[in-house]
Amino acid sequence: MTIKNKFYRYIQDLQDTITSKLEEVDTLANFKEDLWERPEGGGGRTRVIQNGAVFEKGGVNISAVHGELPHSMQAYFGVTDANFFACGLSLVIHPKNPYVPTVHANWRYFEMYDKQGAIVDQWFGGGQDLTPYYLFEADATHFHTICKKACDAHDTTFYPQYKQKCDDYFWNSHRNEARGIGGLFFDYLKASEGRSMQDWYDFVTEVGNSFLEAYIPIVIKRKDLDFNTSNRNWQEIRRGRYVEFNLVHDKGTLFGLRTNGRIESILMSLPPHVQWQYNHQPVKGSEEEKLVEVLKNPKAWV
């Protein structure tokens, strides 16, 4: 079986595993599924949960698209007359309780072909990262510990390398702060220096398999904590920064828009309730300010 077929089968199974577990934790809402096709080639399976007991909105989507690489992307990659195949799983979960963090993850595979159909380039990418609204250091340490464990199973240099890439990538440069407390981010994992595409497949799927272990214990620990309107307002203000990153900086969003992706699936990452208050500043010495200080200065959690 080819790498692309094997990985596509993997993300189909992983989508089932993750959505089943999230439904079990929520107890109220279930995922609604949309199957869609892309006119230029391929399609996907979008699953969205809304108005649950725990999850206000979330999506766990898979897609496999192919065809001629749009001219804007040809210019981006510095190629001409290229075709492509891309598949991946992308998820974003926005919990109701402000003490439960938002989480994002993505695992993807890309191939590029010449006009004869021969592969001229291929790579894996992805990662997983956490965006809390209130900082529980034990939660940050847990999430990063699981990320490090997945990395260390393959190479002990991976975690510090991909943790740093995550801090660099999920940086709202126009705000001079991180989107969240990070995790892992990797891209353009290609066969080289003694590593095969099968080696990278094994690594990326290890990270994918670690997701539920990294996130669900945090949800269970925090989902029943009492919160008030002030906490909720802060959550919605911080969600605004999440939206800003996704619409201004995120490569995945831009790729989807430039390849005529399904707009509802691309923008499912946006939370349902958001605020932008003019020049909002957290109270000095508050828990809200504690979070912002960490976002301005990313730290080592393990």
Cα distance between residue 230 and residue 203, in whole Å: 42
- Are 148 and 214 in contact, with CB atoms under 8 Å apart? no
Residue 199: CB atoms within 10 Å: 14
Cα distance between residue 224 and residue 122, in whole Å: 44
- List Cβ neighbours of 37 (8 Å cut-off, separation of 6 or more): 43
Cα distance between residue 168 and residue 175, in whole Å: 14
- List Cβ neighbours of 107 (8 Å cut-off, separation of 6 or more): 11, 14, 88, 89, 124, 125, 126, 127, 204, 205, 207, 208
**Is 249 assigned a catalytic role?**
no
Active-site annotation holder among 66, 94, 104, 249: 104
Strand locations in the chain (E): 32-37, 42-50, 55-68, 83-95, 102-113, 119-131, 171-172, 177-178, 182-189
- Are 45 and 61 in contact, with CB atoms under 8 Å apart? yes
Catalytic positions, written as ranges: 104
